[in-house]
Structure 1
Amino acid sequence: MKEDREKKHPLPEDEEEEKWKNRSFSWLELGILYSPTLTPAAASRRLKAWVLANKVLVSLLNTAGWNRQQRIMTPKQVECIVEILGRP
């Protein structure tokens, strides 16, 4: 019975887990998720500024194969950002 109830009404953390799917993201897409009140271009710039200001994050991204001219981040690179900045 309890299992049936949990399937019909997931707990809040289950809903949050379902909303976030790690995948490839552009800077623009991920920036919008982190700063939804900004224009897409401003959100993208803000995210990139946050990343570049964090030496640990830049190091993790470089290890994951990132370069600054890259427009689309791999799931592994997105994982690095989420690990340091938290989920958007």
Structure 2
Amino acid sequence: MRALRLDRGYDQATLGDLADVSVTSIKNLENGRGSSLRTVIRILRALEATAWLDTLAPTPTVSPIDLLRSAEATPRRRVSRPRSDD
């Protein structure tokens, strides 16, 4: 976030005004102390960097239906311990 902000030429106060968030929220986010998702989205919109959000939910490469079908085709196997002769 800091690099994006600096690339756009904004100081933290200006970005805070554009994103309608506090400077403290921006400082916390840039220093890795976390923030709410709402704050992150507001800042990314202000920085015109919403494409970054696509990395949060990548396109699925495995179909859940295919996984279910392959599980049905494989017989269940069980493991058992040998019984002791007490």
TM-score normalised by L of structure 2:
0.32
TM-score normalised by L of structure 1:
0.31
Higher relative contact order (CA 8 A, sep 6+): 1
Q: Which has the larger radius of gyration?
A: 2
